[in-house]
Amino acid sequence: MTRSLTLPSLAACVACAALSLPAIADPQITKAAPDAKPVQSIKLVLSAPLSVEQGKKDGRAVANALSAALARPVEFEVVAAADLPGILASGKADIGWLTALEYIAASKTNGKIQPAAKALHAGLPFYRSVLFTTKKSKQLLTPADLKGKKIAFVSETSAAGYMIPHRELLRAGVSEADIKANGSFLGDHASVCRAVIEGKDDAGATISNDKAGGAIAGCAETLGKQVNELKVLAISDPIPNDVFALKEGSSAAEFAALRAALIDLDKTADGKKVLADHFHSDGFIPAEDGDYSPLRDLLK
């Protein structure tokens, strides 16, 4: 999934929901030759949009893959999504695996962190947010029709699952008071989809993809064929996928090595398995800070 927006995350998914989690460190140990000098380890930080257990599995697999590619031991730490930007911005970790929103927050605090590579999902470096309802709700045609209606969101820190649709609702004339009174945060995209299809909420916000999963991609896996019972009310402009970024002060060689390691993952069978199982991605491409400018402007 996209680690997003409520995004997603690398993964998806994107999206993506923030968890108040204690930090969980899990070092990856590489044995050195008896006479070799100790090699300084690299610290990777990531959040856990699905669960602590899944975050540890993803972190361990990614750390192992990077350890092999960079020829240096990589240890990882699973942290609360709200804490992740500050940890990378302050230099307490070497590499961050961040959603687009987390990267924007980190770069706002420290403009010298370096985005190295961003994920591709179905060949695309972005996803979108969608406001949706059921086809049987014939009176609901646009976001403006959601005044006084119950709306399911993912979390307050999810780009696709709240922040962007929240702004769309305000632009459509739905008041902040109305959104607060009738909106609810359900924690993940699957719960949002179920709440709408079961009639517990009138509308919801989730992930949309131009390719895999379609216009209401965030519900495709959870609802299966029932996703065809849903309809779109509004779709956002593109949101960049998850990104790997380095702390301030990282050398040009470290930057180039990380970028190459991520981009080359899809060149081996083992790398493709890591991409599919833990990044929910089919590859990486170079990332630049300017890739996130449209989202920054949208969130102003």
| Alpha-carbon distances, residue 145 vs 137, 141, 183 (angstroms) | 11, 6, 14
Domain that holds residue 138: 127-238
Last residue of a domain, one of 206, 238, 270: 238
**Model-level pTM?**
0.74
Q: pLDDT of 237-260, one tens digit each?
A: 889 999 999 999 999 999 999 999
- Whether 230 and 133 map to the same domain: the answer is yes
Give the model confidence (pLDDT) of 139-183 as tens digits: 999 999 999 999 999 988 888 999 999 999 999 999 999 999 999
Q: Which residues on adjacent β-strands are paired with residue 234?
A: 131
Judge if 164 and 218 occupy the same domain: yes
Residues 210, 71 share a domain = no
Query: Which CATH number is 109's domain given?
Result: 3.40.190.10
In sequence order, which ranges of 155-232 are alpha helices (DSSP H)? 164-171, 176-182, 189-197, 217-223
Secondary structure E strands in 104-229: 114-120, 126-134, 151-153, 183-185, 203-208
For residues 213 and 247, membership in a common domain is answered with no
* 76, 63 contact by CB (below 8 A): yes
Same domain? For 132 and 228 the reply is yes
95-119 pLDDT, tens digit each: 999 999 999 999 999 999 999 999 9
Residue count of the chain? 300
Q: Which of 204, 238, 272 is the last residue of a domain?
A: 238
Positive/negative CA dihedral, 74, 77, 51, 193: negative
